[in-house]
Chain A
């Protein structure tokens, strides 16, 4: 069919040209401008401590020590908060596996803080969509303040003040939800204990 051959040549050339334009020039241009204007963000918002990278402000980490605030449960494999392979649990709402998992997480929280009878905020026992959620709700942070303070021998008021300092409001007061960055809060806790004046943020 000569007609289809007629279409094939411009199709091939156009694909090659568009590939150069949208697949090479466009991402390179964006990378160049982004690295110039926003180098910190463009490279993953890494947090450095004592000269080594200890994480990203945008990526959560696993915490299980009672002296740290714990983040959302993570469904990544083979280990939680595997930032090389993001994943949600994808468990449906009526799946018995979901009920079992949530029950087990409630038990762990209660075991770590037996005196705490407050209802647990739902986000603290449900997995995030990415498995890498850096945040918990302010309610989930408040729930953990007494445990963290006790484990660190700190004043609960000082821990609560740190939580307040790392609580972000809705962006512009409207967008998203209020949240607490768990990694940054825990790094601040470590600094507060080592530093000279732990109570003053």
Chain B
């Protein structure tokens, strides 16, 4: 392994943390609690915010109890789904469809609508061949913002659970959602999208251009160059942990991710907000060390996962050595397993992206995970199965991790006979019941769904690769949908009525089956008193607690998924080594 393989990931983590720190402080001011709290920003932006409330008939001062908060969120997301659904069905008759693309099939439209509203952004379709510019803008780009903002809103409500006492409400969904869009997502997206255009990401409303090939052949004399408003969507799909690409191959497409710099910026954007929210959490609960502990646990798991993925991909496929190919990394080539990878990214950037996109529930890809080595592909699959709490989705990653922290203090409480409390709130039966739902619902969707898919002919028909790898394709798809990631072992032909419906249901369960219990926890905690720390309180900012938290996450994940992983990637790895 060359020094470059270490330098780039180290630089990545350094820049990430350096940017997350100020952004975390800024977002703490955006989500500050209290009736007089005004977010930071110019006066015109605050005026725009107030105007939006007035036009929508929202009373921003209303403090919602958690069921009302949840209802507002669900209504908002449901209408978003319907809008995306309708746009897809009607795109043939709507403007901004220069390629004259037909309406999308019912099952595919359902899958895509659910996918984008739940922040999964699983793509059963090929972007450039299926969706009009109008559908991409009014449907997908909008939901990229709103699903991310919904996740941040739920986190804001949960944080109020800790900061408030004897409170009936957890905040106002409309205010949280609007502020997430206006003060965080839109400004960051504007800056990022222009930086991406400077690197060569397309941004226009032109029809596809046609080029005359330099070496024409009998098969083709011309090349269609895809076009469209890509940069604006790419920026928010990276920042909002959405991940649904403008083009079929996502960020592997040279017009979506043209240079190593665009790649670095897009990778940073995957983890930027999830990492920064840890600092926001620390600021708002009044103890930065608490956010630091959660971030430390996330970073530790991330680094180990990255090393595993990078090592496996650089070691490559023994097949290539048997065929006499040059696979050693050097200054002249990336080497390793280059099947399904782009030259400009090589092995290091592809492994780094795969780890980041699966740690966060982003799901964008700059290399084809299906062609990763068995262990290299196991890493993103396992990170997804951990419940998307290693950084995780925007908002959703941290609220998931806080739930794991509740479980960790509960387990510690049982072991040492201390009253479980976290950040001054007693953790009691109701919170633990809700935490159990959060931890059980996504794996249920994943494992039951995968079992159904391999049991039915309709499920097995979609496999591209034979043997254990085919099972991995199904397991990855369900893991991705059930945890709202969105990446794929893309050989699976998932644009069939069976998979569109199955994965759609898994995405709904994985999103709202977690969000609603988390809001219930928020409501229950906000109603409690604060207990001052005593000799019996387990400190939750120490390295010991970080280890306990990592242990809890890994143990729950391992107990749930090791048997399934053994049947897929592990078997395939042994087969690959045994092949001659």
Instruction: Point out residues on A near B: beta carbons under 8 Å.
Output: 3-4, 7-15, 17-19, 21-24, 26-27, 29-31, 33-35, 37-38, 41-47, 52-65, 68, 72, 79-96, 98-99, 102-103, 106, 118-123, 125-140, 142, 170-172, 174-179, 183, 186-187, 190
Of B29-37, B197-205, B281-289, which binds chain A?
Answer: B197-205
B112 at the binding interface (Cβ < 8 Å): no
Q: Which positions 176-213 of chain B face chain A at CB distance < 8 Å?
A: 177-178, 181, 186, 189-190, 193-194, 197-206, 208-213
In the complex, are the beta carbons of B327 and A86 less than 8 A apart? Answer: no
Instruction: Using A11-B76, A27-B141 as known contacts, say yes or no to A53 and B212 having CB atoms under 8 A apart.
Output: yes
Q: Which of B226, B254, B576 contacts A93 (CB 8 A)?
A: B576
Question: What is the minimal beta-carbon distance from A61 to any residue of chain B, in angstroms?
Answer: 6
In the complex, are the beta carbons of B370 and A11 less than 8 A apart? Answer: no
In the complex, are the beta carbons of B316 and A122 less than 8 A apart? Answer: yes
Which residues of chain A are within 8 angstroms of B334 by Cβ–Cβ distance? 123, 137, 177
In the complex, are the beta carbons of A55 and B186 less than 8 A apart? Answer: no
Which residues of chain A are within 8 angstroms of B326 by Cβ–Cβ distance? 118-122, 139
Could you mark each residue 290-313 of chain B with 1 if its beta carbon is under 8 Å from any beta carbon of chain A, else 0?
Answer: 000000000000000000000000
Which residues of chain A are within 8 angstroms of B223 by Cβ–Cβ distance? 55, 59, 61, 81-83
- Return the chain B residue nearest A65 by Cβ: B215
Question: What is the minimal beta-carbon distance from B352 to any residue of chain A, in angstroms?
Answer: 11
In the complex, are the beta carbons of B7 and A44 less than 8 A apart? Answer: no
Q: How far, in whole Å, are A79 and B217 apart by their CA atoms in the complex? A: 10
Which residues of chain A are within 8 angstroms of B194 by Cβ–Cβ distance? 30, 33-34, 37-38
- Return the chain A residue nearest B258 by Cβ: A58
Instruction: Point out residues on B near A: beta carbons under 8 Å.
Output: 4, 7-8, 11, 52, 55-58, 68, 71-72, 75-76, 78-80, 83, 126, 128-129, 137-139, 141-142, 144-146, 174, 177-178, 181, 186, 189-190, 193-194, 197-206, 208-215, 217, 219-220, 223-227, 229, 231-233, 235-236, 247-249, 252-255, 258-261, 263-264, 316-317, 319-320, 323-327, 330-346, 348-350, 365-368, 370-374, 464-469, 472, 489-491, 572, 575-576, 579
Question: What is the minimal beta-carbon distance from B140 to any residue of chain A, in angstroms?
Answer: 9
Instruction: Using A34-B231, A133-B254 as known contacts, say yes or no to A84 and B128 having CB atoms under 8 A apart.
Output: yes
Q: How far, in whole Å, are A132 and B139 apart by their CA atoms in the complex? A: 27
Question: What is the minimal beta-carbon distance from A26 to any residue of chain B, in angstroms?
Answer: 6
- Return the chain B residue nearest A91 by Cβ: B371
Instruction: Using A23-B142, A34-B203, A58-B258 as known contacts, say yes or no to A44 and B225 having CB atoms under 8 A apart.
Output: yes
In the complex, are the beta carbons of A137 and B343 less than 8 A apart? Answer: yes
Q: Which of A45, A55, A178 contacts B214 (CB 8 A)?
A: A55
In the complex, are the beta carbons of B71 and A4 less than 8 A apart? Answer: yes
In the complex, are the beta carbons of B58 and A130 less than 8 A apart? Answer: no
In the complex, are the beta carbons of A63 and B215 less than 8 A apart? Answer: yes
Q: How far, in whole Å, are A136 and B189 apart by their CA atoms in the complex? A: 32
Which residues of chain A are within 8 angstroms of B177 by Cβ–Cβ distance? 14
Question: What is the minimal beta-carbon distance from A65 to any residue of chain B, in angstroms?
Answer: 6
Q: Which of B229, B254, B349 contacts A176 (CB 8 A)?
A: B349
Question: What is the minimal beta-carbon distance from A188 to any residue of chain B, in angstroms?
Answer: 11
Question: What is the minimal beta-carbon distance from A20 to any residue of chain B, in angstroms?
Answer: 9
In the complex, are the beta carbons of B490 and A90 less than 8 A apart? Answer: yes
In the complex, are the beta carbons of B229 and A27 less than 8 A apart? Answer: yes
In the complex, are the beta carbons of A95 and B368 less than 8 A apart? Answer: no
Instruction: Using A3-B68, A90-B464, A122-B316 as known contacts, say yes or no to A175 and B261 having CB atoms under 8 A apart.
Output: yes
Which residues of chain A are within 8 angstroms of B213 by Cβ–Cβ distance? 54-55, 61-62
- Return the chain B residue nearest A63 by Cβ: B215
In the complex, are the beta carbons of B258 and A177 less than 8 A apart? Answer: no
- Return the chain A residue nearest B233 by Cβ: A27
In the complex, are the beta carbons of A37 and B198 less than 8 A apart? Answer: yes
In the complex, are the beta carbons of A95 and B469 less than 8 A apart? Answer: yes
In the complex, are the beta carbons of A61 and B214 less than 8 A apart? Answer: yes
Question: What is the minimal beta-carbon distance from A147 to any residue of chain B, in angstroms?
Answer: 15
Which residues of chain A are within 8 angstroms of B129 by Cβ–Cβ distance? 84-85
Q: How far, in whole Å, are A3 and B324 apart by their CA atoms in the complex? A: 69
Q: Which of A98, A140, A186 contacts B333 (CB 8 A)?
A: A140
Most central of A19, A72, A135, A174 by chain B CB within 10 Å: A19
Instruction: Using A56-B211, A90-B464 as known contacts, say yes or no to A10 and B174 having CB atoms under 8 A apart.
Output: yes
- Return the chain A residue nearest B578 by Cβ: A94
In the complex, are the beta carbons of B79 and A15 less than 8 A apart? Answer: yes
Instruction: Using A14-B56, A174-B11 as known contacts, say yes or no to A8 and B75 having CB atoms under 8 A apart.
Output: yes
In the complex, are the beta carbons of A21 and B181 less than 8 A apart? Answer: yes
Which residues of chain B are within 8 angstroms of A99 by Cβ–Cβ distance? 319, 323
Most central of B7, B174, B339, B365 by chain A CB within 10 Å: B339
Q: How far, in whole Å, are A138 and B334 apart by their CA atoms in the complex? A: 10
Instruction: Using A14-B76, A27-B137, A93-B319 as known contacts, say yes or no to A54 and B340 having CB atoms under 8 A apart.
Output: no
In the complex, are the beta carbons of B327 and A53 less than 8 A apart? Answer: no
8 CB-based A-B contacts, threshold 8 Å: A22-B142, A30-B194, A37-B194, A59-B254, A72-B343, A88-B340, A90-B371, A129-B249
Question: What is the minimal beta-carbon distance from B50 to any residue of chain A, in angstroms?
Answer: 12
Query: A10-B72, A30-B190, A175-B264 known; 16 other A-B pairs, CB under 8 Å?
Result: A7-B71, A13-B55, A18-B146, A27-B233, A31-B204, A55-B214, A84-B224, A91-B370, A93-B319, A93-B576, A94-B579, A122-B336, A123-B333, A135-B344, A178-B332, A190-B214
